[in-house]
Structure 1
Amino acid sequence: MLHVNGGMGNTSYANNSRLQREIISMTCSIAKEALTNFYNQHIPTSITIADLGCSSGQNTLMLVSYLIKQVEEIRQKLHQRLPLEYQIFLNDLHGNDFNAVFTSLPRFLEDLGTQIGGDFGPCFFNGVPGSFYARLFPTKSVHFFHSSSSLHWLSRVPVGIENNKGNIYIGSTSPKSVGEAYYKQFQKDFSMFLKCRAEELVMGGGMVLTLVGRTSEDPSKSGGYYIWELLGLALNTMVAEGIVEEKKADSFNIPYYIPSPKEVEAEVVKEGSFILNQLKASSINLNHTVHKTEEESSTPLINNSLADATDYDFAKCIQSVSEPLLIRHFGEAIMDELFIRHRNIVAGCMAKHRIMECINLTISLTKKIS
């Protein structure tokens, strides 16, 4: 039952998801293009949009607001007078803080109506708890799917990685079989995701998906060092001091996979239901020092950085998404100490100007018309 830290506390996802918000901002134009193309081709009288892995906090409704405003701009240019009805589905696992999302809706709709004005049509919101690795909606009922910072989470920890000693993900010391097991689980999950969404989308419907990725074909060089190896290092210091049992630590692995563009494209082609319109990599610099250029990578990169380091805490971001998983395995007693150590390790890396970046893959897909 994976979920982020709910509520509005100091380590909540709502207050520590600036990185994810930056990712949404960077990829809004791709979502806009996909939804615009669909609307211009079909001119629907109502439109159904589903956000998968919506989480909670201000990011949850950010993309929805943007897309609705874009559609209304198109309608104004076409001089359409009858209001369009919007049906919005917000999906996440059952443990998600849906109450916080629903509480924010009245203010959100009021602000959206003020920004759009005129004949802005009714907007119906629905919460949909459940795994996006299974069916969530009726056949051919959704026009557009969006998902950001979610699909790198797997449906389960891969089978057969008991030999991943000293690591909580694919690390530089992980046996080759561990990387293979993670990749096999990603293939299974992503293929099922595509199959389910193909059944739920109308013909010609679209999807824009953004997930953490890598530009190297070697999964041990994925950038996961910054995301998970630094947390693993903090955990290992507690094992060395006898605070955490070694056997307990060795049995913990993160259900997370960072794919390459080739791996993503291969699953899209193999599943066969979608046209791949775009597959782009974007790079967010986490320590504000170096921007990788397009010429330095075989995969085109959109470059960006977190603009203001003073109010961004990467360590708290990791805590907000991983703490519930860690509590489930280790209990709450060690959490404060673990994340103090993790925060110090992250700060040490940044102080040494070690390049820390987050690579994201954004995929735009259209369901084939059979």
Structure 2
Amino acid sequence: MSMANVLHMNGGMEETSYAMNSLLQRKGISTTLPITKEAIAELMCNSSVALGRLVIADLGCASGPNSLFLVSEVIKVAHKLSSEMGHESTDQFQIFLNDLPGNDFNNIFSSIQGFKEKTRKEMGSCPDSEPLIFITGVPGSFYERLFQTDSLHFIHSSYSVHWRSEVPRGLEENKGNIYMAKSSPQCVLEAYYKQFQTDFSSFLEHRAQELVTGGRMVLTFLGRRSAEPSAKECCYIWELMSMALNQMASEGLIDQEKLDSFNLPLFTPSAMEVEAEVQKQGSFAIEHLELWDMSWNAYEGEVDLPEALQDGGYNVSRCMKALFEPIIAHQFNPSREIIDEVFRRYGLLLSEWMAKERAVLVSLTVSLTKRR
């Protein structure tokens, strides 16, 4: 099943929207900012970006405050570096924000004017030297061509490239699971890996055509440390959701046949698997590649939290609902009450798990340079 018309986050600004439940992703972007800033600095030292124009694409931009957070940081650092290097000031920025057609682009567009004013103020620009910032929405799959040849200087993507273009074929034997699990047969693991190889190879090929020579790309996505695709570190979070859905199917609350055919369209690769695909495709040099951890609970370590946010399982469940509610709604066509019950049960299972173990999210960040 193609994901182009199904996969999107909850839109709007309501309590269950992605915009109101994306602190975890914000922390991920903040953690990788040093890598992004280093890539921008190296780009500007070794290319013609100093001529005053920088073209940026953010792939899988989603909606809400995160959509323009990274863009703001890149603009500020590029403007500052061009002055420090004695180059002509980089004062024109073309920003392309990409996501699938179902994304809430209107949420982003409504915030653009305020974003521009805030960014210019933070840069300390006087009216006569204010940078020109052009922002364009680009709906479409990043597993296809999105931009003109040799038109981009920098590409960024955070927590998007682990999504697959479609659910892998050949998962009929994965009943009882919604992703790879310890009980999944080998053919299921192979199908997921093959889909990753196909998708990531296409992604790299298209981006190689769109970036200028020497252009940079920084990608962050869910990953794993283990060589085992179904390792607990990357799969337990989905196994708990599977448990909640199976409970409800056994009670007749959701359709068992639909559950048996339900599998998530994602893959959490290892560093070795990412490196192998980059080398095989051949257009990019890896400048930096690392795995790093953070808690699935975005509020871990925060003080003076409301009582509800002190429950880590509740916090993770809210985040996951913002991500997965549209997919579950498409698969099962449930009532609002049933969807709420899915994530209530999921939150309880998460809380039980997190009382015993820390819920760790493994992320993989890779910084690449186009070399041909």
- Number of residues of Structure 1 aligned to a counterpart in Structure 2: 352
For 1:159-308, list aligned pairs within 5 A.
Answer: 159-221=169-231, 223-286=233-296, 306-308=300-302
Indicate whether 1:41 and 2:46 are aligned.
yes
**Amino acid aligned to 1:63:** L
Give the alignment partner of residue 34 of structure 2, picking from 20, 29, 32. Answer: 29
Q: Report deviation, 1:353.
A: 2.8
Indicate whether 1:67 and 2:74 are aligned.
yes
Q: Which residue number corresponds to residue 157 of structure 1?
A: 167
Rounded Cα–Cα distance in structure 1 between residues aligned with 2:157 and 2:118:
23
Indicate whether 1:9 and 2:14 are aligned.
yes
Q: Which runs of 5+ in 1 are unaligned?
A: 289-304
Q: Which residue number corresponds to residue 102 of structure 2?
A: 95
Change in Cα spacing, 1:199 to 1:306, as seen in structure 2 (3 Å) is: farther
Q: Report deviation, 1:356.
A: 1.1
Q: Report deviation, 1:81.
A: 5.8
Rounded Cα–Cα distance in structure 1 between residues aligned with 2:331 and 2:58:
29
Give the alignment partner of residue 85 of structure 2, picking from 71, 75, 78. Answer: 78
- The worse-fitting range, judged by mean Cα deviation, of 356-365 and 78-87 is 78-87
- The worse-fitting range, judged by mean Cα deviation, of 221-230 and 83-92 is 221-230
Structure 1 residues 247-295: Cα deviation after superposition (integer angstroms, max 9, x where no partner):
111100000101000000000000000011111111002369xxxxxxx
**Amino acid aligned to 1:356:** A
**Amino acid aligned to 1:96:** N
Give the alignment partner of residue 345 of structure 2, picking from 333, 341, 344. Answer: 341
Structure 1 residues 49-70: Cα deviation after superposition (integer angstroms, max 9, x where no partner):
0000000011111110111111
| Equivalent position SS for 2:161 | coil
Give the TM-score normalised by structure 1: 0.92
Rounded Cα–Cα distance in structure 2 between residues aligned with 1:37 and 1:44:
15
Rounded Cα–Cα distance in structure 1 between residues aligned with 2:55 and 2:90:
14
| Equivalent position SS for 1:223 | helix
Change in Cα spacing, 1:222 to 1:32, as seen in structure 2 (3 Å) is: farther
Q: Which residue number corresponds to residue 366 of structure 1?
A: 369
Kept in 1, the 8 Å contact 2:255–2:332? The answer is no
| Equivalent position SS for 1:35 | helix
Q: Report deviation, 1:192.
A: 0.1
Kindly report structure 1 stretches of 4+ aligned residues shifted beyond 6 Å.
none
Q: Report deviation, 1:82.
A: 4.8
Q: Which residue number corresponds to residue 324 of structure 2?
A: 322
Structure 1 residues 198-223: Cα deviation after superposition (integer angstroms, max 9, x where no partner):
00000100100000000001011053
Kept in 2, the 8 Å contact 1:216–1:222? The answer is no
Kept in 1, the 8 Å contact 2:79–2:89? The answer is no
Q: Which runs of 5+ in 2 are unaligned?
A: none
Q: Report deviation, 1:117.
A: 2.0
